[in-house]
Amino acid sequence: MWMGDCNGINLLFKLSIPTAEFDFLETFTTTPESLLDITHLYIRSNHKLARSDLIQETENGIKRLSINAIHPLTDRLLPIFINDEADYGPKIRANMSMLNVQIGTPKSNSYDESFANKHKVSTVIDSSTHWHKMDTETLLSELRSRELGGYRTSGKLSDWCISRQRYWGTPIPIIHCDQCGSVPVPENELPVRLPSIENIRSSSKTGISPLANAHAWKKTQCPKCGNENAKRETDTMDTFVDSSWYFLRYLDNENTEKPFEPNTVNKLMPVDLYIGGLEHALTHLFVARFIQHFMHSKGLCTSLEPFKRFIPIGMVQGKTYKTSNGQYVTKDKVLTIDKNTMIHSLTKERVEVDWEKMSKSKYNGTDPQEIIDAYGVDFTRLLMLNFVHPRSLRNFTLEDGIAEGLQNWFKIFINLYVELIDPRTKTVMSNEEFQQIELALREQRLNTIYTVTFYIDSFFSVASAIIELQKLTRYLRKVPINIKRESNEYLRSLCDLLVMIGPVIPALSSELWTILQKQIKTNIDGYDLNKNLFAQNYPLLPNDYPAKINALYDTTVFASMPIARSLLPTLTTTDILQQLNNNDNQLQMKTFIEKNGLKFDRLRKLDDYCATLIYERDPNVTIVEQSEPLVEKKKSKTSKKKQVS
Ligand SMILES: [Zn+2]
């Protein structure tokens, strides 16, 4: 999809007089059958060849170049016009030179025809040549043998310029020789290593690589003719070259013979879970997948795709205050008039609130150290992990009662453990009542374990897990004192809570664990109180605790049913769909699917824990909005009024 369909071919035109930048003009056309009808070319005014020393003005006021292009087959000289009005096809990336060149074929295109007539371009095509006796496929193969294009490609693809003018990069292993031209560094001299340079100067202004100043390194012998004055290439490779296959090297990083040993790497590839920023999805993944497909085609990698799952993590954003002319204002200069109005305290100008990527110039950055200093490191961790799914944008703030809310939970949480040291006195409670409360507590505890595990394993949603653990905390607080003093189930809940929340707030959890170690005198199933918190096992569910089948759309579980855990691993997708379709709430589920125009897409199974049927929008279904028309609502209101009066 990213690369687009290969719905056209590339074409290369030699220039009648090569320029410093170009020997060729390259373009892309979806009409290779009109190849022999090309009479002229257009380039956009932002094309690098459209420069003043090459431009001539024609009598009609249109600009053309003083050099011509040469037809790749017939050798006809083709004038090159600078014309932004021509049809360059869909504008995908303005900087792609291939799309800034277009062919003119008056025979099949009326715009080109009237352009040619107006600007006196000869439209005569000699159709008696041997070329005209060939079909399009033969013409394309002729182009390929001449190395002048003819390859099926997509208009979205272009050459990748990998050279960068930076010191930190992989050296390009090429030596330039006056006699031999560009010569590859012999394999036994690879890798070319970077020289150590003091004071690496940024080259952004000069456009010259810092390595150009490493004269001793740069001067070398030509591997072909022995010329002592040959020069090493001083540009280095784009970092995307390395990042497109680093995951293969990491798996075999001690290998001194080759980049990686396929047998070693193929045992572990593909990567199970890949986490990165959104820019990964746009550029790096594109190149990494391309290289992996290439390695696969060469038989070096058995997996076609490099990554099984990818989470593009959301960006952290800060609150900005901006005046109407786009000037950012620091928070201390903002006066709040009411809920919807804020003004600049000095100029009294109205200030708009927005959320944007944190930046010094926008005065919206938050230094984590400030939060650590004010609230402690565990609070800061909890704040960071809380509230949003990893994919979502994070609007970072401590306002709106967020700090108070978290601190409040911390108090309740800490108190659960501290009160073990100095327990309150028991009240009167019947055995029956005790057992009932304990049973409900057990249900709550197991449900928390199930849900927390589900959220983390299926969605990596630590924030959802935290909500469940906060719920358990509040539940435990309300448990009657008799249970707190005598129930093993209660103590076990305290252990479970610490083990599950431990990775989020490790320092505090470890401290509270030491209280459990001192205060609990009995044996707690599944735990070894002689060992520290992080030596404990993650809480397990009893075997009779049911698994779940869920139906999910976006982030909404719209149907759910329990199923025996022993059954789940053997069930096929069809079985699971059938089970869910026969469940008690099937009508509700059917309505949801119809209302949202959904279709079953795929099954995600988590061992014997749960099976999630993932639904997506069905593109073939048009959703009819079923909300009440406004007019009718108004009518009913008026009729009510009438009744009242
Ligand atoms: Zn040479």
Q: What is the band of 96 on the pLDDT scale with cuts at 50, 70, 90?
A: low
DSSP for residue 172: P
Across the range 172-189, mean pLDDT stands at 94
- 184 forms beta bridges with 174
Mean pLDDT for the chain?
Answer: 87
pLDDT digits (tens, 9 = 90+) for 546-582: 988 989 888 788 888 888 888 888 888 898 888 888 8
Position 386 confidence tier, pLDDT thresholds 50, 70, 90: confident
Of 569, 571, 549, the closest CA to residue 560 belongs to 549
Report the separation in Å between the CA atom of 188 and the middle of ligand 1, taken as the mean of its atom positions: 18
176 CA to middle of ligand 1, Å?
A: 8
pLDDT band at 628 (very low <50, low <70, confident <90, very high): very low
User: pLDDT digit string (tens) for 135-148?
Assistant: 999 999 999 999 99
- Distance between Cα 181 and ligand 1 center (Å): 7
Distance in angstroms (rounded) separating the CA atoms of residues 524 and 416? 17
The alpha carbon dihedral of 324, 330, 333, 335 has a sign of: positive
pTM tops 0.85, yes or no: no
CA of 175 to the centre of ligand 1 (A): 9
What confidence score (pLDDT) does residue 641 get? 37
- Ligand 1: distance of its center to the CA of 172 in Å? 17
Tell me, in angstroms, the distance from the centre of ligand 1 to residue 163's CA: 22
Instruction: Say yes or no to pLDDT of 6 above 90.
Output: no
Contact 68, 80 (CB under 8 A): yes
The DSSP code sequence of 343-399 is EETTT--BEEEEEEE--GGGT----HHHHHHHH-HHHHHHHHHSSS-TTS-EE--ST
- Give the Å distance between the CA of 228 and the centre of ligand 1: 9
Question: What pLDDT was estimated at residue 630?
Answer: 40
Parallel, antiparallel, or unpaired for β 40-43 and 101-104? antiparallel
What is the CA(230)–ligand 1 centre distance, in A? 7
Buried b (16+ CB within 10 A) or exposed e, 446-465: bebbbbbbbbeebbbbbbbb
Give the mean model confidence (pLDDT) for residues 478-502. Answer: 95
pLDDT tens readout for residues 280-337: 777 788 889 989 999 999 999 999 999 988 888 888 889 899 988 888 988 888 888 8
What pLDDT is recorded for position 267?
Answer: 95
Tell me how crowded residue 484 is: count the other CB atoms within 10 A of its CB: 19
Specify whether domain 8-153 bears CATH 3.40.50.970: no
Predicted pLDDT at 394 = 83
Cα 27 to middle of ligand 1, angstroms: 33
Q: From the CA of 540, how far away is ligand 1's center (Å)?
A: 70
Could you state, in order of their start, the residue ranges of all structural domains in the chain? 8-153, 243-313, 316-395, 402-535, 548-617
pLDDT tens, 456-483?
Answer: 887 788 999 999 999 999 999 999 999 9
- Pick from 383-387, 412-416, 623-627: least confident: 623-627
Q: Which CATH architecture has domain 402-535?
A: Orthogonal Bundle (1.10)
Distance 185 CA to ligand 1 centre (A): 12
160 alpha carbon – ligand 1 mean position (Å): 27
**What would the pLDDT profile of 197-231 be if each residue is shown by its tens digit?**
877 765 556 678 888 888 999 999 999 999 999 99
For residue 206, how far is its CA from the centre of ligand 1 (angstroms)? 28
Which of 584, 609, 596, 600 is closest to 551 using CA atoms?
600
Q: What does DSSP say about strands 316-323 and 394-395: parallel, antiparallel, or unpaired?
A: parallel
What pLDDT does residue 642 have? 37
Tell me: pLDDT of 94 over 50.
Answer: no
**Distance (Å) from CA 144 to ligand 1 centroid:** 29
| 584-605 tens-digit pLDDT | 778 888 899 999 999 999 888 8
The pocket of ion ligand 1, defined by CB under 5 A, consists of: 177, 179-180, 222, 224-225, 227
Q: How far is the CA of 168 from the centre of ligand 1 (A)?
A: 28
Q: What percent of the chain has pLDDT over 70?
A: 93
| 164-177 tens-digit pLDDT | 988 989 999 999 99
